[in-house]
Amino acid sequence: MNLRLVAGLGNPILGDDSIGLRIVERVERIMASAVDPLTGDRIRFMATSLSGFRLLDLLVGYDSLAVIDSITTGAHPTGHMSVWNLCPQSCSSPAPMHGLHHLSITGLLEMGGRMCRGGPAFPSRATVYAIEIERPEVYGTGLSKTLRARLDDLATEVADCEMRRLLSPSFNAPAALEQRSCGAREEP
């Protein structure tokens, strides 16, 4: 049996930065008790304000990971969702490490994989759902108007991808999202 964790990350008092927390709550409601009837594969959900190295302990026991988080690139409009499938073993160079507080998802998978080798399960791959936000430095508990309008659609898109992945482990989330014209695509 495989166990997948869908983790929504963010800060609940930094407005749009809380988008990951809000989406994972909705995805959990949409998927309720999703279990593949043939394999028994399951998905668990978690909302957390932790990041970097502090996530390490939370990931022990899971085979794969999905992360829903905010991103600020300026390359896409607010509410755009980019999707990346990460597998550290396929990276040509090690993930940069700028200190334990700024450990990337790839770096986290690499470190946890080494620490858990021969022991408990630890994700060897991750899907990252990154939602473009407006201004992460604004204090407040509300989302921007644009994200409020997109919230349910984003949650539905993530839930659809996770359900497809549950039923078909080889499912490629970015390709499916692109076919549905939501604007997400696989990026390097």
Residues 59-103 have pLDDT tens digits of 888 888 999 999 998 899 999 999 988 876 654 444 444 444 456
What are the structural domains, with CATH classification, of the chain? 3-179 (3.40.50.1450)
The lowest-confidence range among 13-22, 29-38, 70-79, 113-122 is 29-38
Contact status, residue 71 vs residue 17, Cβ threshold 8 Å: no
Residues 145-156 have pLDDT tens digits of 999 999 999 999
- State the number of CA atoms in the 13 A half-sphere of 146 facing the CB: 12
pLDDT-based confidence at 126, cuts 50/70/90? confident
Q: How far does Cα 51 stand from its chain's mean position?
A: 12
Q: Which of 90, 180, 81, 88 is nearest to 128 (CA)?
A: 81
Task: Please indicate, yes or no, whether the overall pTM of this predicted structure exceeds 0.75.
Answer: yes
In the predicted model, what is the mean pLDDT of the chain?
79
How many helices, marked H, and strands, marked E, lie in the chain?
Answer: 5, 5
